[in-house]
Each structure stands twice: as C-alpha cells, then as structure tokens.
C-alpha cells in the first residue's frame, strides 16, 4: 500500500510539473516588456478603470489567456503558501505547550488537552503528537497501534508529501484530477500506516483506537483521517479502495493540459504596435492615481481581514 501511495504522489507531481513547464514556457514567450504591459492591464482591471478594461480588445486572445492562467495560478500559489505558513505557526505554538516522552520506543510529544487526538507533523523532521486525553483513554495495545501508525507516517515523510500534494492541487486548481490524486494519496498513506500498525499490534487494536480518536483539525496527517473508509478496510480486507481518478475529471485535466501545451508551443507573441501600446499603458499605470489608491485600499482590506481572523482564532 505504501508503494501505491508513492505512485499516486509521483503522478500528482508529474502532472503538476507538466502544467508548470507549459505555463512557464508560454509566459516566457511574452518577454519582459509584454509581461509588464499585461501586468498593467490586469492591475487596471483590479481598479475597475475603464481605460484599461477597454484596451483589452487590443491584446491577442492567446496572450490574454496566458496572462489570465498565469495570474490565477500565481495568486492561488501565494494564497496556499500563506495558509500553510499560518498552519506551521499554529503547530509551533502547539509544540511549545507539549512535553517530550518516550512511548513504545518512539519519541512523542504529549499535548495537554482533553481531546483524544493523534497526528504526525513536521516537514523536515516529522514528529508524533498525542494528546494527554488520548493516552488516558486508550489501552496499552491501542496506544501502541496509534504510535506505530504515526511512526509510519514520520518514516515516510508523509506530512511533507501531503503539503506538496495540497500545494500542487490548490495551485493548479484548473486541473481537477489533482484534487482526486491528493485525496487518493492521503487515503493510501493512511491505509499503509494502518498496515504497519496492524503488523505491530492487531486489527482489533487499530479498529478500537480508530473509533475513539477524534480528528485533530491540525496542519498534519492525523490518525482519524478518512476513518470510515479505513474501518471498512479493517473489517473486510477484500474491500477495494475508492478509485484514484474519476473519468470526467481526468478527461478535463488532459484537455486543460493539452490547451496550455498548445499555447506554449504556439509561443504567443505581442506585435510591435501592441508592444508600444502596452508600454504606454505601463507608463500610464505608474501615474494613475486612482489605480494605486484602489490597489492600496484592497491591500489594506486584506491585511485588516487577516489580522481580525488571526485575533479571533487566538481568542
């Protein structure tokens, strides 16, 4: 099962790499001047400036499509990285409240909480986290099963792979198959860890622990992830896991990849007259007071909203 999880992860990375390469090639064909002009045009859209919106008709459709896909992809990447950074800071705060212990020959971190939760977190050096409520609730063999399960995740660097999978799936949101691959990787990684826990204990111990542990809701791979599917697998090993990919999503993904690849091969170019015009737009944008005022307002709104959300979470 671990080999299956690695194969799914490899497929996700391969598809994402193809998408990144195609977009990169198409964007590079525009050149620095073209990118600057397209950037000014898109910034004008953000400010709802009629001057920039009207000028859209002067841009070739292929160039505009490359700009839109590239901008949406980069924006999604930045948003996902920001959320991942916040999650890692939450995890660092959790680590400060935990104390180190040794269970079943593995170093674990005990988090003071009444909740019954267990998870593996950490990108470079994955660590096992158990709540004190869990340790007080489970029997010795059940705790062993949980520790062995999370140890399997740590040994396979599943938290790092899961983050990479999520990053690619969210960044290239226009490739729907990546979401399926992300979910399939998480499931197969959990089933592989269950197999490791069963070898160290028993099916009964794993099933008993799984029915008691709650989802940790943390930036990590937790013991309770996808519990329904895993319990079915424990009760009947012959049950086949869900399909990795749905046919419609795979077809849409291949179509989207083919379209982006076609744009890259076609090497969208901006003609001389369009280059001059875009240069003029870029210069106008630098002095377009209304544009920058609205951009600053949007930026201030985003920062304020982020601070309010973080304060509400910490309260």
Domain boundaries, the chain: 2-310
- pLDDT at 216 (0 to 100): 47
Contact indicator for 205, 141 with CB cutoff of 8 Å: yes
For residues 293 and 70, what is the distance between their CA atoms, to the nearest angstrom?
A: 25
Backbone angles phi, psi at 109, to 5 degrees: -115, 120
CA distances from 183 to 9, 60, 171, 178, 216 (A): 10, 38, 15, 9, 18
For residues 208 and 304, what is the distance between their CA atoms, to the nearest angstrom?
A: 45
Contact indicator for 76, 173 with CB cutoff of 8 Å: yes
CB neighbour list of residue 188: distance below 8 Å, 6 or more residues apart: 1, 2, 4, 5, 8, 241
For residues 133 and 28, what is the distance between their CA atoms, to the nearest angstrom?
A: 54
- pLDDT at 144 (0 to 100): 93
- pLDDT at 223 (0 to 100): 63
- pLDDT at 48 (0 to 100): 47
Indicate the SS3 state at residue 290.
Answer: helix
Q: Are strands 106-111 and 221-222 parallel, antiparallel or unpaired?
A: unpaired
Backbone angles phi, psi at 84, to 5 degrees: -65, -40
- pLDDT at 217 (0 to 100): 45
CA distances from 152 to 39, 46, 164, 253 (A): 46, 47, 18, 32
Contact indicator for 291, 49 with CB cutoff of 8 Å: yes
Query: Which residue ranges of the chain lie beneath pLDDT 50?
Result: 48, 216-218
Q: Of 237, 162, 163, 161, nearest to 194 (Cα)? A: 237
Contact indicator for 29, 268 with CB cutoff of 8 Å: yes
CA distances from 252 to 11, 115, 246, 263 (A): 16, 42, 10, 17
Length of the chain as a residue count: 315
């Amino acid at each position: 099962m671990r080999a299956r999880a690695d194969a799914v992860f490899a497929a996700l990375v391969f598809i994402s790499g193809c998408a990144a390469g195609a977009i990169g090639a198409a964007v590079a064909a525009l050149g620095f001047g073209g990118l600057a002009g397209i950037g000014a045009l898109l910034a004008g859209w953000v400010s709802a400036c009629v001057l920039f919106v009207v000028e859209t008709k002067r841009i070739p459709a292929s160039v505009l499509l490359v700009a839109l896909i590239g901008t949406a992809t980069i924006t999604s990447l930045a948003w996902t990285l920001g959320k991942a950074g916040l999650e890692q800071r939450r995890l660092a705060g959790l680590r400060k409240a935990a104390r180190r212990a040794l269970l079943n020959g593995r170093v674990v971190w005990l988090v003071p909480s009444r909740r019954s939760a267990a998870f593996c977190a950490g990108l470079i050096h994955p660590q096992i986290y158990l709540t004190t409520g869990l340790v007080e609730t489970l029997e010795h063999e059940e705790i062993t099963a949980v520790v062995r399960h999370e140890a399997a995740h740590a040994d396979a660097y599943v938290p790092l792979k899961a983050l990479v999978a999520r990053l690619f799936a969210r960044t290239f949101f226009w490739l729907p198959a990546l979401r399926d691959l992300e979910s399939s990787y998480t499931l197969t990684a959990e089933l592989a860890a269950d197999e490791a826990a069963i070898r160290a204990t028993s099916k009964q111990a794993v099933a008993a622990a799984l029915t008691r542990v709650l989802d940790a809701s943390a930036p990590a791979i937790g013991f309770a992830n996808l519990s329904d599917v895993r319990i079915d697998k424990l009760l009947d090993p012959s049950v086949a896991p869900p399909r990795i990919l749905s046919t419609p999503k795979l077809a849409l993904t291949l179509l989207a990849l083919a379209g982006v690849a076609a744009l890259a091969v076609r090497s969208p170019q901006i003609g001389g007259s369009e280059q001059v015009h875009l240069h003029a737009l870029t210069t106008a944008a630098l002095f377009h007071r209304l544009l920058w005022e609205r951009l600053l307002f949007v930026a201030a709104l985003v920062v304020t909203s982020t601070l309010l959300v973080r304060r509400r979470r910490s309260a």
